Amino acid sequence: MLQLVFAVAFSAVPLTLYIPPIRSLNLFVHTIQTFLQDSSFFSLRAFLRIRLAIARIFNSIIHITW
pLDDT digits (tens, 9 = 90+) for 12-57: 666 666 666 666 678 878 888 888 888 888 888 888 999 999 999 9
The reported pLDDT for the residue numbered 20 is: 62
The reported pLDDT for the residue numbered 5 is: 80
Cα distance between residue 6 and residue 12, in whole Å = 10
Q: Decide if pLDDT at 61 tops 80.
A: yes
Residue 15 lies in a domain: no
Number of independent structural domains in the chain: 1
The reported pLDDT for the residue numbered 1 is: 78
Amino acid at 16: T
Cα distance between residue 55 and residue 29, in whole Å = 38
The reported pLDDT for the residue numbered 63 is: 81
Residue 2 lies in a domain: no
Residue span of the structural domain in which 45 resides:
22-66
Amino acid at 41: F
